């Protein structure tokens, strides 16, 4: 499942009561995991998932980089340093949570139109994640054709 920290009741943001409800719904339907679409969540959610046995894929806010771009987004967008910081901070904060089983470095980037630039962008992040957490829990969600 992909999940967001928002609700019809309170709008955007973490809500402890809603998190408990969501985890109970996951148990009710027999699910045991979700992805933090598309950003790291409040720590209280990870604490709850640790207690309840829910598996989490922790994701950076790097969604759709370059989708629909006619020029090379990896050379034109100046986001790589910030992306590095987010990866480092997310892993440093969450790596000791038993519930976290993977680091999603990004979701649905365009790696097709500028493959060399995409490699030069993503490979150092992949290696950085490994340096921050050597357990080989890295992931990049690609969109197939």
Active-site residue list: 108
- Give 30's DSSP letter: T
Any residues with CB less than 8 A from the CB of 99 and at least 6 apart, and which?
Answer: 46, 49, 50, 53, 54, 55, 56
How many helices and strands in the chain, by DSSP H and E?
Answer: 5, 7
Query: Could you tell me which residues come within 8 angstroms of residue 121 by beta carbon, excluding any fewer than 6 positions away?
Result: 65, 74, 80
Compute CA distances 104 → 22, 25, 42, whole Å: 21, 23, 16
Contacts of 81 (CB under 8 A, 6+ apart): none
């Amino acid at each position: 499942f992909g999940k967001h920290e928002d609700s019809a009741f309170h709008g955007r943001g973490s809500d402890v009561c809603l998190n408990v409800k969501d985890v109970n719904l996951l148990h009710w339907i027999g699910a045991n995991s979700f992805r933090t679409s598309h950003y790291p969540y409040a720590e209280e959610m990870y604490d709850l998932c640790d207690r309840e046995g829910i598996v989490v894929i922790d994701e950076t806010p790097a969604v759709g980089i370059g989708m629909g771009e006619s020029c090379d987004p990896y050379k034109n967008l100046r986001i790589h340093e910030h992306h590095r910081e987010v990866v480092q901070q997310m892993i440093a904060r969450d790596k000791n949570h038993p519930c976290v089983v993977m680091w999603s470095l990004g979701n649905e980037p365009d790696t097709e139109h500028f493959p060399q630039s995409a490699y030069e962008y993503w490979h150092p992040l992949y290696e950085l994640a490994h340096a921050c957490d050597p357990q080989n829990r890295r992931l990049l969600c690609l969109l197939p054709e």
